[in-house]
Amino acid sequence: MPILTQILWLIILAIPIACIAWTVTHEEVFREPRDYCVKQCHEGKTIVKRKFFYVFTCEYCFSHYVTAIFLWLTGYKLLMDNWVGYLIAWFALVYVANAYMSLFGLIRQDIVKEKAEIKIMEINKAKAENNAS
């Protein structure tokens, strides 16, 4: 596969990896299983149990496993056409997917901040109107 095609695959394949990892580790739809995993990773009796359940609470950790599944499904290799290509692709996809998730987290944080600022402005405006009356 030409290098430009490999890079295009890297950029595009990281999108669903980031989406799945973020959804499982952050979104409301998986809150109950995630809460159970958080409890188990804090209260588990063995280190293996604690680390196993921790994977489902950390987007970085979880993205490694999602990436491994995508590599198995797609056979994507980066730079080399042997097992080293899989290894390079694995770490590159994890890196790009986590960059996407970080960017998404920052955007969401800005949106939440803006909504809070708007709400404060609306409250202050309502107070000013009540004081004027």
Q: Does residue 132 have a pLDDT over 90?
A: no
Question: What span, in angstroms and rounded, lies between the C-alpha atoms of 5 and 11?
Answer: 10
- pLDDT attached to residue 5: 95
For residue range 11-30, list pLDDT tens digits in order. Answer: 999 999 999 999 999 999 99
Q: Does residue 133 have a pLDDT over 90?
A: no
**CA 36 vs CA 20, 25, 27, 43: distances in Å:** 19, 12, 14, 10
Q: Name the 3-class secondary structure at 46.
A: coil
**CA 97 vs CA 17, 33, 49, 87: distances in Å:** 6, 23, 26, 15
For residue range 65-109, list pLDDT tens digits in order. Answer: 999 999 999 999 999 999 999 999 999 999 999 999 999 999 988
